[in-house]
Amino acid sequence: MNFDIKKYPTLFLADSVKSLRYLPVEKLPQLCCELRRYLLDIIFITEGHCASGLGVVEITVALHYVYNTPFDNLLWDIGHQSYPHKILTERAKKIINIRKKNGLHPFPFREESQFDVFGTGHSSTSISAGLGLSIAAQKEGKNRKTICVIGDGAMTSGMAFEAMNHAGEIQPDLLVILNDNDMSISKNTGALSKHLKNLKNIKYNDILKNSFFENLSFQYLGPFDGHNIFYLINILKDIKNKKGSCLLHLITKKGKGYLPAELDPIKWHTIPQNSLSSFNKTITYSEVFGSWLCEIASVDKKLMAITPAMCEGSGMLNFSRLFPNQYFDVAIAEQHAVTFAAGLAAAGYNPVVSIYSTFLQRAYDQIIHDVALQKLSVLFAIDRAGIVGNDGPTHQGVFDLAYLRCIPGLVIMTPSNENECRQMLYTGYMYKKGPTVVRYPKGKGVGVPLAPMNIIPLGKSILKRVGQEIAILNFGVLLEEALLAANNLNATLVDMRFVKPLDTNIIIELSSQYKFFVTIEEGIISGGAGSSVNEFIMIKKILLPVLNIGVPDMFISQGSQQEIRHNYELDAQGIEKKIFSWISSSF
């Protein structure tokens, strides 16, 4: 679609922040209207984040109108609120390609624009980063302002509190805008959410008001209507002249201006991808996990399921309704989620932590110290493992095998289809000697039927095809692609299933029968599953060349899963090409 001056006349005039500031203030409501309409037009094409951006239109316009961005630092947290910001900062025409291959990043990205002061794809980093920027600005002495917009549940993370605790002590020139829409991706939970609701019921000038933020030595202002552009302009002009740390509490409506998104901001957090495959009855891996969870909970009251604010995405919605006493949404607090699970396990319960691969990185210390070191039986159901796609480098779940494999006592399973995923979840749940991991991808399975649950023998692989000269050891969901390549190369193919413990018996057996080993995984090669094969071969003094196929040593940008797999030769064609080229060139 075109950025049409006839359809968006005021927005067209505000094609840069300098142009925006030349607009008379009475034109700003019309600008907000057009910005919201353009945003809706765009996201129905790009299938990107919807409700969050709609809710911050007025805040975005007011901030760029009052503050001297990009000289003044403006940080967005969570980053999917930044679509209106991107449109107003000289990216209006480019946003049609947001989340697409070679297009705009879905979150603030420093390499993309000078207006993106600090990159973020997760949450709750803005106050820490903003504090650093504000201290630097203070030392610079040029009266540079720093503003952090934190919302969509980001204030529920411990990192945000840690930063506020520090800021309250040193009192930098810092403005924190709390975008309070009562939502993260799911409905907000926790005591802070209740406190914010109480603040809404107290008049601004009420002498009885005593907010949590004031006790942290922030000047608390609010709560105010975050959609009143004129009031926002005035209050921001006033705050701009204040010194010290301020928290501006703004009440907004997630999905503002689009009734379906206002009524159901959870469903409309993103625009769902249009696909003819919607008629395909194949279930997703998240749905496999959710149904398995319900099945186990129906017979085991000691199962306790934990999610850090990812109920819908992790397939836990039905479980949360059917088994509310066994379900815990701890908000965006991954570290707490893991140690909370450890406490439950120490008390004799059976915790299952459902978490995205890229978010589990935040709880690494807790996995090691609080779970693995104490040999506690916690099952980690790691969703969105491997190539995730359009959400870009912050969301690709390619590091988990590498960062988990080195932890002693951790069992790591990599299902290649939805039935294996189900069996592995059960295997991990029934294992009582320590923590277990089942890592599975985003999206649909391959269409295999689900069988009754059985425990899989630890470290036991499955021979899928017998060939000559080449033995391919596959870890995880690239099995179908590996099989196509193996057929063309007449290679042997093994579904390894376990990264830890590794099936060393099959490696020893195959090493005496084949000339070449190839390992395949949808994860970073450095330190990954293939590396475990290399280590075993070396320690056994097996003289055999090994090719590791996986994700190279780089951050993977946005694009569809299919595009990324093709680009990095992780589809059948690419795997075959890599193996053939390696054998031909090396020997």
Q: Is 208 helix (H, G, I), strand (E, B) or coil?
A: coil
The per-residue pLDDT for 449 is: 95
Average pLDDT (556-582) is 96
CA atoms of 346 and 341, how far apart (whole Å): 9
| Integer Cα distance of 240 and 242 in angstroms | 6
What does the alpha-carbon distance between residue 254 and residue 269 come to, in Å, rounded to a whole number? Answer: 9
Task: Kindly state the tokens that stand for 415.
Answer: 């299902």
Query: How many other C-beta atoms can be found within 10 angstroms of the C-beta atom of residue 231?
Result: 15
Residue numbers annotated as active site: 254, 334, 362
Q: How far apart are the first and last CA of the chain?
A: 52
For residues 417 and 445, is the Cβ–Cβ distance under 8 A? yes
Look-up of token digits 């009031």: 231
Compute the distance between CA of residue 478 and CA of residue 501 in angstroms, rounded to an integer: 20
Residue 28 gets the label, from left (phi > 0), alpha (psi -120 to 50) or beta, of alpha
- At 277 the pLDDT is 44
**Cβ(568)–Cβ(525) below 8 Å:** no
494: which residues sit within 8 A by CB, 6+ positions away?
461, 462, 463, 464, 471, 472, 473, 474, 503, 506, 510
How far is residue 109 from each of residues 98, 115, 163, 254, 492, measured CA to CA in Å?
12, 9, 22, 23, 43
Strand arrangement, sheet containing 516-524: 462-465, 492-495, 470-475, 516-524, 546-551
Q: What is the pLDDT of residues 409-439, one digit of tens each?
A: 999 999 999 999 999 999 999 999 999 999 9
Side chain identity at residue 61, one-letter code: V
Task: Decide which of 509 and 152 is more confident.
Answer: 509
Residues 6+ apart with CB under 8 A from 556: 387, 393, 396, 398, 564, 568
Interatomic CA distance for residues 496 and 507, integer angstroms: 10
Whether the per-residue pLDDT at 162 is higher than 60: the answer is yes
- Per the CB < 8 A criterion, the answer to whether 218 and 245 are in contact is yes
Residue 567 is assigned to a ligand binding site: no
Select from 121, 158, 160, 162 the least CA-distant residue to 334: 158
Using 50, 70 and 90 to split pLDDT, how confident is the model at 278? very low
CA 474 to chain centre: 26
Class of residue 247 by CB neighbours under 10 A (exposed 0-12, middle 13-18, buried 19+) = buried
DSSP code string of 154-175 = GGGSHHHHHHHHHHHHH--SEE
Higher-pLDDT residue of 293 and 587 is 293
Distance between CA atoms of residues 382 and 499, nearest Å: 14
- Residue 277 marked as a ligand binder: no
Band of residue 586 on the pLDDT scale cut at 50, 70, 90: low
The alpha carbons of the chain give a radius of gyration, in whole angstroms, of 26
- Residue 89 per-residue DSSP state: I
122 is in an annotated binding site: yes
Q: pTM of the entire structure?
A: 0.89
Buried b (16+ CB within 10 A) or exposed e, 57-85: bbbbbbbbbbbebeebbbbbbbbbbbbbb
Is residue 258 a known part of a binding site?
yes
Q: Cα–Cα distance between 367 and 382 in angstroms, integer?
A: 13
152 is in an annotated binding site: yes
Q: Is 334 annotated as a binding residue?
A: yes
Report residue 188's pLDDT band, with 50, 70 and 90 as the boundaries. low
pLDDT tens, residue by residue, 358-403: 999 999 999 999 999 999 999 999 999 999 988 889 999 999 999 9
User: Is 153 assigned to a binding site?
Assistant: yes
The answer to whether 456 and 422 have CB atoms below 8 angstroms apart is no
